[in-house]
Structure 1
Amino acid sequence: MSEHFGYSEKDVHREVSELETKSATAARLFDIRRIIGGLFVLYGIIVTIAGLTDDDAAIDKAQGININLWTGLAMLALGVFFLAWLKLRPTAPPPPDAGAGDESRD
């Protein structure tokens, strides 16, 4: 009774393995480190540019510290850290199922 509704057991195993591959790809694509790192880099660039274009009144308001520049550089460093972490330690693929590779049974 391996044929049910026109699908063989091999077809079902193939479909399951394709879905597992797509799921692993989606997990790597939407890894939280990629999202956090990308946002920190983007916002870091924006705040750094704001810090580079600050006038003397804005710097005096912060007691002589160019807070936008330093905050932007810190955000850039944190974003690069997250992206480097993602590159050095990528998400591990899910372990293969013990029963998925066994197609000798009919």
Structure 2
Amino acid sequence: MADKKKAGAFDIRVVIALLIGIYGVVLTILGIVEKQSEVDKAAGININLWGGIGMLVFTALFVLWARLRPIAVPVEEDATEQ
């Protein structure tokens, strides 16, 4: 009978969340320190700030998904371990 092992950090959802999270943090910081003249060029909407917050929310949802529904990888037993 094959046991199951969780994928853990090797789950692709965690890798994607990490990459999007890094970009989200950078954009959020850029949005916080943005000059008002730059915000005015985008019709008064701080696109960097809102984009960064959106990416951080996306990251949180991906991590939550990976934690609540982990990928189970079947593990074969060795014939010598019986």
State the TM bucket, normalised to the shorter chain: 0.7 to 0.9
Q: Equivalents in 2 of 1:54, 1:30: separation in Å?
A: 36
Tell me the equivalent position of 1:41. Answer: 21
SS of the residue 1:54 aligns to: coil
The DSSP-based 3-state class of the residue aligned with 2:64 is helix
Q: Could you tell me which residue of structure 2 aligns to residue 6 of structure 1?
A: none
Q: Deviations over 1:48-88 (max 9, x none)?
A: 01000000111011011000000000000001111111111
Normalized against structure 2, the TM-score is what?
0.80
Structure 1 vs Structure 2 CA RMSD: 2.6
- From the two aligned structures, give the one with the greater strand fraction: 2
Number of residues paired by the alignment?
Answer: 79
- Which has more radius of gyration? 1
TM-score normalised by structure 1 residue count: 0.63
Q: 1:1-106 residue pairs with structure 2 within 5 A?
A: 27-94=7-74, 96=76, 100=79, 103=82
Deviation of 1:100 after TM superposition, in Å, equals 4.8
The 4+ residue runs of structure 1 with deviation greater than 2 A are: 99-103
Q: Which has the higher contact order (CA 8 A, sep 6+)?
A: 2
- What is the DSSP-based 3-state SS (H/G/I as helix, E as strand, rest coil) of the residue aligned with 1:46? helix
Q: How many percent identity over aligned positions?
A: 42
| Secondary structure in 1 matching 2:71 | coil
